[in-house]
Every structure is written in structure tokens, then in C-alpha cells.
Amino acid sequence: MEIDLLLLHALIPSWTSVVLLVSFFAYLGISGTLVPGKIVPGATLPDGTRLRYRCNGLHSLLLLITILGIGVEVNLISPTVIADRGLELLSATFGFSILATLALYIAGRQSSARGSSLKPHVSGNLIQDWWFGIQLNPHFIGLDLKFFFVRAGMMGWLFINLSVLAKSIQGGSIDLPMILYQIFCVFYILDYFYYEEYMTSTWDIIAERLGFMLVFGDLVWIPFAFSIQGWWLLSNKVELTKAAAIANCIVFLYGYRVFRGANKQKHIFKKNPKALIWGSPPKVIGGKLLASGYWGVARHCNYLGDLLVAVSFSLPCGISSPVPYFYPVYLFILLIWRERRDEARCAEKYKDIWAEYCKLVPWRILPYVY
């Protein structure tokens, strides 16, 4: 009973956790507008318009790291403040995601916009409209909220990990598994922001409306669920052999190569359909679908890379517990579900062209298996 009460108390947001969260969002809003960055045109929407995205995430992230580093150096902020208040921040962020979704739902229902970005899509089913959202690309004070939320989630994931690392160092428990996990995550997140413009051509930005599914997924699920391995390593000792560490690195590097390579090929093709793929002219189906490179191996080869990277995040934790493997298992289920939705959408959009592509590239994610 006492443990339950302590856990319940830890889940109640304090003013400190609320201030941390609001300050973080305020910084992202200001830096997203003021920090220099490449202006990237998004995909062409059904009404022929294209949104413009300021891809300054990497600069904003490095600036924030510098500011926080100075704050830690002058004892203005503790490097373990996030790890110390993890559950408080989790509940505060969850509460914010509910409020944000409610505001989006109300604004969407009241919108009379006719453009593709803000045109309301009301099904009449309250749960469905709340979960999937009503508008495609809602904005607030000039910020594209969909782009803002995913940026917040990815940065939040990094800062949770860094705070957990600081707590590990502070407690004298830093070891090889924690180092490997932190290196993989830091590389993956920095790479995400280095190639942030590729996000503008992803399914989430192009096709998903902004509802609870994306808001919760970006603000709560990404930073708090994806960092489970770090939290687990903080309180569990793992003996990792040199061979296991090398194998872990190979899984990560191969997964990253497939994931980044596939997404890069797709993004480049959309900008220049004649650009060489693996040193040769691309094979294009119906003038629209790339069937070369990774996209000639499997129709969603990027998902395979993402899954391998997710597994590599968990491998440093060993195999004594299923808890650290929650993330790759969840991601596997999510990507299978998303792949099915994407297949249905593409079949409807491209019709015979999609059927021809499926005949040429029969494998969905993993060649000769699925």
C-alpha cells in the first residue's frame, strides 16, 4: 500500500515539472521561428498547395544543449532533473496531450476552411475524430503543430536519455551496455535532425490528420516509451561480452544503413525523379513509383531498417527481461499496421500502377519472408 501511494504521489505533476515542460515548449516555439534553417517545401497537397517547413531542428537542439550545459556548469539546473522527475513529467505531458487534442478537436469542428491543410474531416464518430484528428496540418501562432510535436518528442527522448546517463554517472554505475545504448540513441536522434527535411515526405506529415494518436505518440510515447532501455539499465546490471557488443554494433549499423538509405532514396526521387539510384537510372512504374534501390527490394524496406535499429537499442540490455524489448515489439506491431494502411491507401490512389509495382516487388518488408 505504501509503495502504491508513493507511486501515485510521483505521478502527480509538481510545479517544477510543469515549468520544465512549458519552458521546453516555449523554447521550441521561439527557436522554431527565429533560429535560421533551410526552408523546405512540403509535398503537394490535393488542392495543389505546398506548405513550407523551416528545418532548423538541429540548430535549435544544439543551441538548447549549449544553454543547458551552461546552466549545469553554473549550478542553475541539475543534469538529473528529468530523471529525478520522470513520472511527474510523464503525467504532465500526458495531461498536456489531452488538452492539446481537445483544443484541436474544437478548432477543427469550428473551422470553415476549404484548403487541404485546414479543411475539417468530420466523420460524425466522436472517438474516431478525436483519435485520428480532424485537420491535416493545423497551425498555431505560425507554427505547424504536427512538425512541432514530433520535434518536441525527438528532443525530449534525447534529454531524458542524457539525464538518465547523468544519473548513472552520478551513481557510479556507468558501464558498456549503457554507453552503447546512449551512443546508438544519440546518433539516431542527431541523424534525424540532420536529415529533418526528409520528414516532410513521410506518411505522418503527408497523410495523417493531427489527433490524439499523433499528439500522444509524439509527445508521450516517443520520449517516454522509447527511453525504457535507459531506465532499465539504470537499475539493472548487464554483463556484455566483447562479441555481443560487436554484434550489437553490426545490427545497429546495418539497420541504420537500410533505414536512412531507403528514406533518402525516396526523398531524392520525389525532388528529382531522374536522379541516379545506386549509380544507375531509376526504374519508375507509371512515372510515379520508384522501383529501384531499396524500393526495388521491398515495398517498405525502410521499416525493416527501423526495426533493426529498434532491436539494437534493446540488445545492450541482454535477454534476462522482456521489459527492454517493449519498444521493438511495439514498433513491429505499429509498422505492420501502418504498412497495411499504407498499402490500402496506395492501392486506392495509384490503382493499376500500384498493382504493377506489387507484381514487380512482391515483398512488403522483409524479402523472402514477408
According to DSSP, residue 368 is labeled T
Band (13; pLDDT cuts 50, 70, 90): confident
254-264 mean pLDDT? 94
User: Residue 297: what pLDDT?
Assistant: 94
pLDDT above 70 (res 7): no
Q: Region 145-153: what's the mean pLDDT?
A: 94
Amino acid at 23: S
- Above 60 in pLDDT, residue 359? yes
> pTM surpassing 0.95?
no
- Residue 352's alpha-carbon distances to 32, 286, 346, 349, 358, in angstroms, are 41, 9, 10, 9, 10
Whole-angstrom Cα distance, residue 153 to residue 149? Answer: 6
Query: What is the model's pLDDT at position 217?
Result: 93
pLDDT for the residue numbered 338: 87
pLDDT at 11: 66
Q: Please say if the pLDDT value at position 141 is more than 90.
A: no
Q: Where are the domains of the chain?
A: 1-235, 240-369
Average pLDDT over residues 56-71: 95
What angle do the packed helices 15-34 and 145-170 form, to 10 degrees?
Answer: 130
Q: According to the model, what pLDDT value does residue 36 have?
A: 92
Instruction: Measure the CA–CA gap between 232 and 176, rounded to whole angstroms.
Output: 14
Tell me the pLDDT tens digit for each residue of 114-139: 888 888 888 888 889 999 999 989 98
* C-alpha to C-alpha distance for 339 and 141, rounded to whole angstroms: 34
pLDDT for position 71: 94
283-328 pLDDT per residue, tens: 999 888 999 999 999 999 999 999 999 999 999 999 889 999 999 9
> What mean pLDDT, rounded, does the chain reach?
90
Q: What does the angle CA 314 – CA 159 – CA 163 come to, to the nearest 5 degrees?
A: 80
pLDDT category at 231 given cuts 50, 70, 90 is: very high
Structure confidence at residue 5 as a pLDDT band (50, 70, 90): low
The pLDDT > 70 percentage for the chain reads 97
pLDDT band at 142 (very low <50, low <70, confident <90, very high): confident
What's the rounded mean pLDDT across residues 142-161? 94
Task: Tell me the pLDDT band of 66, cut-offs 50, 70 and 90.
Answer: very high
C-alpha distances out from residue 216 to 156, 219, 223, Å: 13, 5, 10
